[in-house]
Amino acid sequence: MADLTAPFARATTALALLAVDPGGLGGLAIRARSGPVRDALVAMLAVLPVPLARLHPAMTDEALFGGLDLSATLAHGGVVMNRGLLADPSALCLAMAERCPAQMAARLALAMDEGRGHLLIALDEGAEADEGLPPALAERMAFSVDLSDVALGDVTGFGPEPEELAAARAALSSVIVPDEAVVQVVEVCAAFGIATARAPVFAMRAARANAALAGREAVEASDLEVAVALTLAHRATQLPEPAPEEEPETPPPESQPDEGERQEAEGEGLTLPDELLLEAVRALLPDDLLARLAGRKARAARGSGSGAAKKGNRRGRPLPPRAGRLGDGARIDLVATLRAAAPWQTIRASASDRAGLHIRTGDIRLKRFEDKSDRVLIFAVDASGSAALARLAEAKGAVELLLAQAYARRDHVALIAFRGTGAEILLPPTRSLVQTKRRLAALPGGGGTPLAAGLRAAMELADHARRRGLTPTVVILTDGRANIALSGEANRPQAAQDAQGMARALASAGVEALVIDTGNRPEAALKVLSDILGGTYLPMPRADAKRLSGAVSAALGD
């Protein structure tokens, strides 16, 4: 069995299995910056039994699916169609896959689901943790390898020869998969919180391919270990629970000697304990898995973590043109307009005495672009009670740390403190670090906890930020012991009810939220509040500024 602890060896093993069963294993995601290490692995793609087709995220539907060949149509006076890249089975090599828009990801996923013989090689060049493949594509590829930390000296050669791969492909359909192997793989998926049905299917196909490559007629224990390690480790969403201690089992009666013989005849290699399969997956889990999962969960609940997408006709990433009328500053897409008008030129010319191109209103296509708005992080900080000074110190340090990174991102920061009977905006949205330090120098503390008032102030500030074109995210720091109602009265039940009401208002307004519980023990009411907000709940007792800043950055996908 190959040394799967070495990233490049994992990559070449995955590529070999993909070459044996390209239609069943979907593809391979390669996370690495452009360089000699990635180039060495890309050069090995020649072993795949289908031709390589290179894609990029800005490709149009005409390039993918085919369409009108405008130059040939105008030259020949008749409609000439061209074939798209998806017309024939191929290995689709998608560069800059982390930038693939959702529309293109959906089209590629559909092409893979239709069973046309396509497989996907995704080159993910994302430098940050939040940059990565669209989930629709990652779901449909069996393998994912990270070569970011691989040195050129660690690059190894490709193992199997072309003749071995061809023989394995020929023998693949005859490889037997025992039923107990399927049961074990499904149990491993459940232990690691893998809910997708594709994962066990990929694992069993990888095990079959590994057995065929080794010349075996049935899947054995070593095949299962390779398969689960390569297909399940990057899909894990939780660590498996430790196995409970069980009573020693009563040995089977001596009157049933045929059972052992039957199991041995079916395949002795599959009697390995489940712990070995769990360890095969656990060995490849990243050290910071829990931190990654927290950030991934938060981004899945709210979005990408960046500013909201805005459509316009001036700047940003180009979008497919749309039919429309000129006016209100709209910009015409000349090529798309000519493409729409070209098929009708012969008919229009025969019905008109005028020579030249015949353009109708319905042919007009307008340019569209997508831009990202700036984001504002609104910190709503509980400044009440005896722990106010510590919480405010944490918030001040976190705000300063986040602002220091704001120039690399499109972030503004605002600060609201709630105490006594109301809330106060201490720092309006800003990117000025000097102004922030001056405003944060002396913040008051003490008094009751008007959580509802803090949420109301945060919603008003978020609404104001939206009108300025910003995308707001509210970060709430509190221990959850609300005791001041919106009316200013000291009424704990009414205060909790008012806080939940304001949380529903924030959620209905579509404002993203993050609730950080700073109490010594997690507060159940804050978890309920976070669920109402549709946000993320992070219990962080005794959090310092650095931990707080890191938690916010991870949860927001920075």
Residue with tokens 């690495």: 32
Cα–Cα distance measured from residue 400 to residue 445, given in angstroms and rounded to the nearest whole number: 19
CA distance 290 to 292: 5
**Residue 319, beta-bridge partner list:** 368
Specify whether the CB–CB gap between 469 and 373 falls below 8 A.
yes
Q: What is the distance between the alpha carbons of residues 506 and 485, in angstroms, rounded to a whole number?
A: 17
What is the model's pLDDT at position 394? 67
pLDDT at 204: 93
The pair of structure tokens assigned to 533 is 């907000």
| Domains of the chain from N-terminus onward | 7-159 (3.40.50.300), 172-239+269-286 (1.10.8.80), 310-372 (no CATH), 375-555 (3.40.50.410)
For 267: left if phi > 0, alpha if psi spans -120 to 50, otherwise beta; the answer is left
Q: How far apart are CA 182 and CA 370, in angstroms?
A: 45
Locate 131 and state its tokens: 């940059």
The structure tokens 């629970």 sit at 241
* Cα angle: 4, vertex 192, 558; to 5 degrees: 85
- 126-140 residues labelled b (16+ CB within 10 A) or e (exposed): beebbbbbbebbbeb
Q: CB-based contacts of 438: which residues, under 8 Å, 6+ apart?
A: none
For residue 403, the model assigns a pLDDT of: 63
Residues of the chain with pLDDT under 50: 255-257, 259-269, 290-291, 293-306, 311-313, 386, 407
pLDDT value, residue 515 = 86
Reference 418, options 466, 450, 461; nearest CA is 450
Give φ, ψ of 144 to 5 degrees. -150, 125
Q: What are phi and psi of 429, to 5 degrees?
A: -55, 125
DSSP state of 539: E
DSSP string computed for 495-512 = HHHHHHHHHHHHHHTT-E
What's 429-487 look like in SS3? Answer: EECCHHHHHHHCCCCCCCCCCCHHHHHHHHHHHHHHHHHCCCEEEEEEEECCCCCECCC
Question: What tens digit of pLDDT does each residue of 94-144 get?
Answer: 998 888 888 889 889 988 888 888 999 999 887 655 567 888 899 999 999
pLDDT attached to residue 516: 81
What pTM was computed for the model?
Answer: 0.55
Distance CA 428, CA 55 (A): 44
User: pLDDT value at position 460?
Assistant: 92
- C-alpha distances in Å from residue 548, one per residue of 147, 318, 398, 477: 30, 37, 6, 10
Which of 394, 414, 417 is CA-nearest to residue 406?
414
336, 362 contact by CB (below 8 A): no
Give dist(CA 184, CA 189) in Å, integer: 9
The Cβ-side half-sphere exposure at 15, using a 13 Å CA radius, reads: 26
How far apart (Å, rounded) are the C-alpha atoms in residues 423 and 155? 59
Q: What is the 3-state secondary structure (H, E, C) of 51-70?
A: CEEEECCCCCHHHHHEEECH
Amino acid identity, position 489: E
The two structure tokens encoding residue 112: 């893979």
* Cβ proximity of 299 and 131 under 8 Å: no
- pLDDT, residue 441, reads 62
